[in-house]
Amino acid sequence: MNIVALAGGVGGAKLADGLARLNPPPALTVIVNTGDDFNLFGLHISPDLDTVCYNLAGMEQRNTGWGRADEGWDVYQEIQKLGGPDWFRLGDKDLATHLERTRRLGSGEPLSKITADFCRVWEIDPAVLPMSDDPVPTIVLTDQGELAFQDYFVKLSCEPAVTGFRFQGVENSQPTPGILQAIQEADLIVICPSNPWVSIEPILAVPGIRSALEEKLVLAISPIIAGEAVKGPAAKMYLEMGIIPSATAVAKHYGNLLDGFIIDKQDEGLMKVIINRETHPLKVFCADTWMKTREDRVRLAGEVLDFGQQIIEEV
């Protein structure tokens, strides 16, 4: 099967990794949010892209899901001695990624080409495509004013109350070469259990991507389980935007884009509610969606593909 997955941070990276480790693996393209890219110490840092790649390479830090395993902190500690910023922890190995990426971007290479080369070194089989080679920084509108994403997310620990989002420059951005073709050739689109507001919306906002997806069979996995996000501020964002956080809210968020929706077993009671609420035909499937181990990722990925296969056959 030919799969395109849309992913943001840790949740998306885990499911993408599960899909890539299926036996046999599907032909997989992962489109990754770059709205959280930012600059620190003059370096171009792409947190979601790196989280996805590190997980696909099996070299992520296991306890957090982001950063590198067996990481050292010599540079970070030395920066602290110099009185440098401490709010974004940069590991030694991780720094190499940012340094070499920054160097190549500076010499005019596009992010997608650099990412492809890094993936080859890291022996990653799926195609990993940043959503755009153009910078589209996510701006979080909050009760403390407009905030750059990482300032909101890391520096301020998601504490400001969110009133909206802006994807700066998205109207003039283009999808990375290969994205539209990958979508056209896909049998199934999988929206990973990533934050709908700040991981998936930025991808959908790049001109041409949403309309290409509308032609395809699209599944999403709810990142909200029993009213709470597995990780990150998704549930808090729904509340602050005046919406009760739930799998139902996520289904409504993606609306007509969805053909299938996977919710956690804890939310089984919502199944009928979601189906009845939607005005378009929507299949809903229950699974254990909380990926704690690498085996969980592969099991959930298998269930996602089976569910997708079932929808494909029914259409």
Binding site for a second copy (CB under 8 A): 40-44, 72, 74-79, 81-85, 92-93, 95-97, 99-100, 102-103, 106, 117-118, 121
Contact (Cβ atoms closer than 8 angstroms) between residue 183 and residue 209: yes
Pick 117 or 240: Cβ nearer a second copy = 117
CB 217 within 8 A of CB 261: no
CB distance 252 to 229 below 8 Å: no
Residue type, 169: G
Residue closer to a second copy, measured from CB, 90 or 235: 90
Could you tell me the smallest distance in angstroms from the CB atom of residue 158 to a second copy? 24
Beta carbon nearer to a second copy, 14 or 44: 44
Return d(Cα 246, Cα 65) in angstroms, integer. Answer: 23
| Contact status, residue 17 vs residue 32, Cβ threshold 8 Å | no
The amino acid that residue 150 corresponds to is Q
We find the least distance from the C-beta atom of residue 170 to a second copy, in angstroms, to be 25
Angle at 140 between CA 134 and CA 143, to 5 degrees: 160
- Rank residues 84 and 208 by Cβ distance to a second copy and give the closer one: 84
- How near is the Cβ of 61 to a second copy at its closest, in Å? 15
Rounded to the nearest whole angstrom, what is the least distance from the CB of residue 66 to a second copy in the complex? 17
Give min distance, CB of 155 to a second copy, in A.
14
**Other beta carbons less than 10 A from residue 309's beta carbon:** 13
Q: Which is nearer to a second copy, 66 or 118 (CB)?
A: 118
